[in-house]
Amino acid sequence: MPLLPTSRYLLILLALATSCGTDTGDEPAPASVLPESQHLTLGNPSGALTDVNQPMNYLLMKPQYALSYHRDRGTPNWVSWHLEAADLGSASRQDNFAPDNTLPTGWYQVQATSYPGSGFDRGHNCPSTDRTATVADNSATFLMTNMIPQAPNNNQRTWANLENYTRTLVSATQEVYVIMGSYGKGGTGSNGAATTIDQGRVTVPARIWKVLVVLPVGDNDASRFTSATRVIAVDTPNENTVSSTLGHYRTTVDAIEAATGLDLLSAVPTSVQASVEAKVDTGPTQ
């Protein structure tokens, strides 16, 4: 079941009790308890925890984004991030793809060399260009836990168009929440169809999806949701023949939830969720 907001508050209280209410005074909080993140303001879609006993739904919290990692697929289930004007600066693209050494000891770390030659791009979930405030922010997007094997035309045209459009929505008066993920097995890259790469250690997803939530700049974002809030949901095939026109792939949050088993926007009031999650956005996307 997804980790609902109330449950997260209880986890925080537990962490405080652990750090302040013991005889030793220096026992660490449980590994599964992490501070709240602005990147999970709208909810934790899979109830992910930083717990080695949940290898298929392992929560990684970065200053730049949050994600649920699937050890056996070698890719994230979803990545969630908040985007505002302050995130867009002048730092250049670092291109320093690297394994993520924050994964638990003994877990395979996907390498920078795991994708080249496979016919699939190292496809960012949280885009490099969404994190240009500092070099450190940009570098964080090149961790391999933020990557999926993505068909080149899907990555470089279809998703690039949506990423560029997303940044046009960000201004001094407007902010965006983004959740991206993938599901299924088997895509078609420049070398043809494949179900895995990296000697079977990385699964090629069949579908790639994204949900954008556009809000005026403000506080208490989840509670400011209304039935008029713009929510853009897109679900594309991971194929090199994919159209560059995103209008073909617009869908509903409800449909993505049905396909993935996730509970998106779980921190938003239930009555509002029912309204916005059933709508297909009709505004511009590129």
Q: Could you tell me which residues are annotated as the binding site for Mg(2+)?
A: 155
Q: How many other CB atoms are found less than 10 A from the CB of residue 168? A: 10
CB proximity list for 12: less than 8 A, separation 6 or greater: 33, 35, 36
Residue 170 has which token pair? 């960000």
Give CA–CA dist 223/209, Å, rounded.
25
Give CA–CA dist 59/68, Å, rounded.
5
The residue type found at 8 is R
Cβ 34 vs Cβ 63: under 8 Å:
no
Catalytic pick from 39, 70, 82, 124? Answer: 124
Give CA–CA dist 77/256, Å, rounded.
13
Give CA–CA dist 5/261, Å, rounded.
18
- Helices within the chain (DSSP H only): 5-20, 135-140, 152-153, 160-168, 253-260, 270-276
Confirm whether 70 is a catalytic residue.
no
Give CA–CA dist 22/106, Å, rounded.
31
Cβ 84 vs Cβ 115: under 8 Å:
no
CB proximity list for 146: less than 8 A, separation 6 or greater: 65, 67, 76, 79, 124, 125, 126, 140
Binding site as annotated, residues: 155
Report the sign of the C-alpha dihedral through residues 141, 236, 207, 222, in that order: positive
Active site residues: 124
